[in-house]
Amino acid sequence: MSENPFFKPFATPHESFPFNEIKLEHYEPAFEQGIKEAKLAIEKIKGKKEDANFSNTIEALEDSSDLLDKVSTVFFNLMSAEAGDEHHALAQKLSPKLTEYENDVLLDPDLFSRVKAVWENRESFTLSLEQARILEKTYKGFVRNGALLNDEKKTALRKIDEEISTLWPKFSENVLKATNAYELLVENAVDLEGMPDAALEEAQSLAEEKSKKGWIFTLQAPSYIPFLTYCPNEKLRENLWRAFATRAVGGEFDNKAIVKKIVGLKHKRAQLLGFDHHANYVLTERMAQHEKKVFSFLEEILEKAFPAAEKEVEQVRALKEELSGVSKLNSWDFAYYSEKLKKKLLDFDEEELRPFFKLDSVVEGVFEHAKKLFQIEFKKVSNVQKYHPDVEVYEVYDTNDSSFVGLFYTDFYPRKTKKGGAWMTTYRSQHFSAGEDKRPHVSIVCNFSKPTKTKPSLISLNEVTTLFHEFGHSLHSLLSRCQYRSVSGTSVYWDFVELPSQIMENWVYEKEALDMFAKHYEKGDLIPEALVKKIKKTMHFMAGYSFTRQLQFGLLDMAWHTADPSEIVDVEDFEAQATEATRLFERIPGTCSSCAFSHIFAGGYAAGYYSYKWAEVLDADAFEYFLEKGLFSQEVSQSFKENILSKGGSEHPMELYKRFRGREPDANALLRRAGLSS
């Protein structure tokens, strides 16, 4: 085995991860050594002779697992972004070890007694707001993970956590493999008339790679979405749609049993800890606080959105009948005919925008936004190691004093070793150590349209919005100014974390903002005013449908995590019942989105998917403030930076929001923006 890079300080720029040196063989010994060192640190805390206080117990816990944090961070980040079969297999082995260690800490009665002593005597300590928050978070973390249980229940909790730790990586692996397993070969050019040139070129290139004649389409978003939107052959659209809708449903990569197991185990765990179900366990540490508030919130929006969605679907159905003579509208028809309706009503074809959205230019544009709003600049570097050739790395600096803000990684293109979707993650969270401000290392990972042989990467409006969204998450981490890593950056209540990301999407629809990057990739012309006006109109186009679809996922998530699992017989039937109130199309047997719902079964959104809509209320209200004062108002942007982005989870989110906005959010701002208010 080569020398393990985890066993020495990283002699790299900004102590960045030495990806070129890290091999699969290094992870397990590094995990084992990290756990060993962390346990020794815990024993040292427990062995203190002086009374427990914030410094010798709570702060000491914050710094007790540096090596373990490093190795687990890079291992699980790469499991999503760059992992083969061996990496996934190792996850099945290492996840239970990590879970066992975490339970050893959280269920240690002697350690908890010290934490409890600090908590009970908190009034006698002089603590900052952030320290008080850390203390509360630490104490609740122990209690919420079983510290007050008897030995028998602690043992039961350990078994549950160990089993869950093997299930979510398997769920994720099945979704990835099911996605990669399907390909649609099209051999007749007539079937693809009207498809975007870039999508065709990419599909043809993929076919050539596989020594086949024709075009190959996949379930990756840059292939799947254009196909469903523009392919004129209904049967082919149906084939691809069914393949996507049945990922990990039956067959070799079936997730149905795993879904039931995860839900059942989480329910048992919640009840062990004194909660009715997993949702209430989760929501006690959210702004929403209780399931009834979440259901009420979702149903209130649905009441406005669903009638609008029904009218929109009827418009699309009528257009299909007009154009094809067939009155029935299927799920695989909606994107195709709604795009034609958009063209008819708004004289707008989203493909008109691609020439103005060269990915490199959009990236520069989002950097320019950050500079104008928050006074930071991004400089591409080549001396920082990368985990894949597609990755680019930037150093981020404050334009006021040239101080280093953080490292920023971008990873934009699909590959078989990367899961679908888009996300932001950190390799190092901002925190102070020995008086030094350790600046964050942040990454955004996406699956955008790749460059072709003849064109650069020209992305869709939706992909531009996704980039701004994930960049907003990155700003939350990059601009963090907290003392402790456990509350820095995006370590906030889950239904608050989407505010910095979703507010950034708003700039994509403004001419002043678009002029900073939306230039024709060949001619250099700025995006025309007439086209921008059309983009603005699309904000209301199919808004009811879009809302209803998002609410469907939120309600499905809540259904899974409030139901009694013993009464769930069939995963598909349960999903059908849970989403009945949001159904706009005929249910197709054999389809089941739950089996690929990675957000809630292999991510952190269980009983939290509603947070996207919850945070949309916040971002719509916050952006109205920008519109009132000016799109790049320094007054508003500096307040947002100071009161939201820099504070992380160091204070309660509603207090931070009120300090920024001067009041609580106006719930109607979201409906106003979508054109759904009465």
Active site residues: 470
With 0-12 / 13-18 / 19 or more C-beta atoms within 10 angstroms meaning exposed / middle / buried, residue 589 is: exposed
Render 303-338 in DSSP notation, one character per residue.
Answer: HHHHHHHHHHHHHHHHHHHHHHS-----HHHHHHHH
User: Helix, strand, coil proportions of the chain in percent (round to 5)?
Assistant: 60, 5, 35
Chain centroid to CA 66: 25
Q: What are the backbone angles phi and psi of residue 17, rounded to the nearest 5°?
A: -65, 130
CA angle in degrees (0–180, nearest 5) for 516-521-526: 40
d(CA 193, CA 12): 51
Question: Residues 460, 449: contact at Cβ < 8 Å?
Answer: yes
Tell me how far apart the alpha carbons of residues 546 and 462 are, in angstroms, rounded to a whole number: 13
DSSP annotation string for 564-614: -GGG---HHHHHHHHTGGG--S---TT--GGGG-HHHHSSS-TTTTTHHHH
According to DSSP, the β-strands at 392-398 and 184-186 are unpaired
Sign of CA dihedral 314, 320, 326, 330: negative
Q: Residue 662 region, left (φ>0) first, then alpha (ψ -120 to 50), else beta?
A: left
